[in-house]
Amino acid sequence: MQRIRAGAEEPVHEPVRPSWWCAVCPDGTPWPCPPGRTQLAEAYVGEPIALSVDVAELLPLAAEEAGITDPAELYERFVSWTWIDAGGRP
């Protein structure tokens, strides 16, 4: 069952654990997916540091559960996009 954000028609793009794939996108789509990133950025408007910190805290958990060992992949997937999508410095 997919959750719907209050005031929105699109379901919440959240991770399925332990794979860390998106619960809404086609199977095998890594979370945070592009729509998930947008939803996260909207939830943290004006708080780019909080967004970066919160998703960075998920990084080691996802690495352990999904067996992702490439630090560059983890950084790109979880952290690098946060400043741009949250309206911060590129």
pLDDT for res 3: 52
Instruction: List the domain boundaries for the chain.
Output: 31-85
pLDDT for res 43: 93
For 70, residues 6+ apart whose C-beta sits below 8 A from its C-beta are none
Tokens of 60: 């080691």
Report pLDDT digits (tens) over 24-77.
999 899 999 999 999 999 999 989 899 999 999 999 999 999 999 999 999 999
DSSP state of 21: E
Report pLDDT digits (tens) over 2-27.
455 555 678 999 999 999 999 999 98
Cα separation of 59 and 10, whole Å? 25
Q: Is the pLDDT of residue 88 over 80?
A: no
Where would I find the beta strands (DSSP E) of 1-90? 15-16, 21-22
Q: Scanning the structure block, which residue is given the tokens 């949250």?
A: 86
